[in-house]
Amino acid sequence: MARVKPFVSYVKLKKWGRYYAVLTLLLGFAAVNSGNNLLYFFLAALLSIMALSGFFSYLSLKSIRLSIIVPEEIYAKTVNYLKIRVSNRNIVPVFLIYVKKSDKEKVLFDMIPPKSYRESLMPYYFERRGYSNVDAVFAGTTFPLSFTIREMYYPLNLKVLVFPHIYRIRHEDRSLYPKNAGWGAQSTKEGAIGDFMGLRKYEKHDSVSRIYWKKVKNKDLFVKRFHDEDFKEFTLEISSRASESEIEKVASMAVYYLENGHSVGLSVDGKEELPPDSGMKQKIRILEKLALLSYED
């Protein structure tokens, strides 16, 4: 998590704010030329409203602090989401606070209670894999009258590792196993059919058809265990000079099979970089290797 402080703020007029400014200027010219006290009164009121609006928007932004939480998995050419926490240090609520990188990568907080915080997810897009910098974001508000937009620049300088783009595996890609692919020979994963593995105690989720009625001990029921015939264990091979599309294909296949419970390894230029394994940690290890494969900063 990165906590950052604002650097500098600036104000720009919205459409109705420009109309308001023009009206104020015209009223000022009319008051000066005519010397009418009533026009001076209206001019002072308009200027006061404009000043108070700018003052309240400035206080709103000065009373908040941002915290950026980067997810463990970030992918190229995909909309990722950074968790944004906006804390209000003031004793009064703040309204209409937004945080953005661009107009398309933006999140809005309608109200943040006093001495509290709100969290939301901001979309963030990375064009390429490898290390990338999240340089800065902007926090802004149109509160209270939506005549102006006041924004503050928040420098971040976060360095994140972006994984290769992952796409949906097509049917023809699923048959592309390397020559050394195994079919569960070393698997202890349990399935409904396959080679017999032994017995274990009956659990609530087990099918009644798998109960081994010949063995009932102290009123305990046992079920038959079988190897999962669909389980696969194999190593994906790739060259250190692979193209971007090849890297994305290997990464997509690794994610597909790991998320379906299989065991996947990675070999680069014929050298085993990661032995076959399963689970989330193996997925992260493979994606980290592929993210930095032939990577140029």
Residues 86-125: tens digit of each pLDDT: 999 999 999 999 999 988 899 999 999 999 999 999 999 9
Q: Residue holding tokens 């107009």?
A: 103
Q: Which tens digit of pLDDT belongs to each residue from 241-286?
A: 889 999 999 999 899 888 887 888 999 988 888 998 888 899 999 9
Average pLDDT in the 48-73 region?
87
Q: Residue holding tokens 């050419």?
A: 77
Per-residue pLDDT for 186 more than 70?
A: no
- Pick the more confident residue, 70 or 175: 70
Per-residue pLDDT for 187 more than 50?
A: no
User: Could you tell me if 160 and 134 are in contact, meaning their C-beta atoms sit under 8 angstroms apart?
Assistant: yes
Q: Does the pTM exceed 0.85?
A: no
CA 209 – CA 224 distance, rounded (Å): 10
Average pLDDT in the 9-23 region?
80
Determine how many CB atoms are found less than 10 A away from the CB of residue 136: 14
What does the domain layout of the chain look like in residue ranges? 2-162, 164-187+231-297, 188-230
The H or E element spanning position 229 is none
The H or E element spanning position 270 is none
Q: H helices of the chain, where?
A: 15-34, 37-62, 244-259, 280-291
- The confidence score (pLDDT) of residue 22 equals 86
In order of 12, 123, 126, 142, 149, the CA distances from 152 in angstroms are 12, 19, 23, 12, 10
Mean pLDDT of the chain: 80
CATH topology of domain 2-162: Immunoglobulin-like (2.60.40)
CA 254 – CA 101 distance, rounded (Å): 31
CA 178 – CA 216 distance, rounded (Å): 45
- The confidence score (pLDDT) of residue 179 equals 41
User: Could you tell me if 232 and 184 are in contact, meaning their C-beta atoms sit under 8 angstroms apart?
Assistant: yes
